Amino acid sequence: MSKVLETRLEIDLNALEANFKLLKSYLSPGTKMMGVVKAFAYGTDSIIIGKHLVKIGAQHLAVAYIEEGVRLRKAGVEVPILVFYPQLEEIQNLVDYQLTPSVYTHRFLEGLCQELTHHEVDALGVHLKINTGLNRLGFELSELDSILTHLESEKKIKVAGVFSHLAASGNKNEVEFTKSQIAKFEEARGFFKTHLEYSFESHICNSSGILNFPEAEFDMVRAGIALYGYGNNPEEHRLLKAVASLKTVIAQLRTIQKGDSVGYERKFKAEQTTKIATLPLGYADGISRIFGNGKAQVLVNGKKAPIVGNVCMDTLMVDVTGIACEEGDEVEVFGKNNTVVDFDLQQQTIPYEVITRISQRVTRVLV
């Protein structure tokens, strides 16, 4: 059997739809949903996921870079697509494929106006990003007047949206901080509503924001990790269904004796007679070395089996002592029955990182 058939990432659109409907249930009927499909839709497949999100009711999509938006347009996606981190050198593609840039600095705003003049573009809608406390990207509240002055002098730019990003909406210990972010955003939103002669869309809620602060839904929300089945705390995880399931098979079984070692650098040494299964999956497929040496576990015929020794480039080994299994048996690395949180035994990282790391050499399969 070829590896592409043995190792695969299964994508469950029914689970995606269930998560979408759950998130919508927290919102008012008229609130729009923006589906975030950056980074290959969190490691799945941006075309498959993006198209299905539009089919089930997403009015907007969002990506990180212009190239990602172009890929969606070429696949036939027609809804507005917000680009979080647009690059000035790609403005022609942004214009040609009718993508919407996020604008978060005066430098980019000025550069964008110059590029639009150069490319003979009459007008372009943008979403202004406001920094309310994440302190990553965005205009400060103190810059609102200068932004307005720039907009009034440069008619090529039209504000299609104003947004911000919550820093800790999934953390119950940071409720007051989140509320302060929402209040700052309301101040910025109110400023532009007062001074602009046209309407625009406002959004601040991310996945955890939707689940924990639906009162801050404004005109639209941005659903990211929750669409794919994970949240930012155990309560959120339990509400959602995993969309992606990484599966493989047992390539070989062997029994080793006390004192025998497994893998590079002999990091695992058997303390008793041990049955070892080798899986055709490694760090080149996205399973990091941090998960070796007992820090993660897979599911073999319904039983948990820890990874032992160092993860290799194309393979990893698991301890299947006491588990009835044979070569060729299916293994769920993570998915519906062994969630990413279950897989990552010692919580070495976050679900976002695990699923977005699965490399493109792993075949995506719809189920």
Q: Output the known binding site for substrate.
A: 136, 313
Residue pair 332/338 in contact (Cβ under 8 Å)? The answer is: yes
Among candidate residues 24, 38, 129, 295, the one labeled active-site is: 38
Q: Which residues are annotated as a binding site?
A: 136, 313
Task: Quote the tokens at residue 308.
Answer: 């032992």
Which residues 6+ apart lie within 8 Å of 14 measured at CB? none
CA distance 185 to 203: 9
The gap from C-alpha 49 to its chain's centroid, in whole angstroms, comes to 12
Q: Spell out the long-range contacts of 345-353 with Cβ–Cβ below 8 A and sequence spacing 24 or more.
A: 345/294, 345/295, 345/296, 345/297, 345/306, 346/295, 346/296, 348/290, 348/291, 348/295, 348/296, 349/288, 349/290, 351/225, 351/230, 352/42, 352/225, 352/230
38 is catalytic: yes
CA distance 305 to 201: 49
Among candidate residues 74, 158, 193, 264, the one labeled active-site is: 264
Q: How many helices (DSSP H) and strands (DSSP E) are in the chain?
A: 13, 19
Q: How many CB atoms lie within 10 A of CB 154?
A: 15
158 is catalytic: no
Pick from 33, 49, 15, 42: which is nearest to 241 by CA? 15
Q: Which residues of 248-270 are buried (b: 16+ CB within 10 A; e: fewer)?
A: bbbbeeeebeeeeebbeeeebeb
The gap from C-alpha 223 to its chain's centroid, in whole angstroms, comes to 9
Q: How many CB atoms lie within 10 A of CB 125?
A: 15
Pick from 279, 330, 267: which is nearest to 300 by CA? 330
Give catalytic residues, as residue numbers: 38, 264
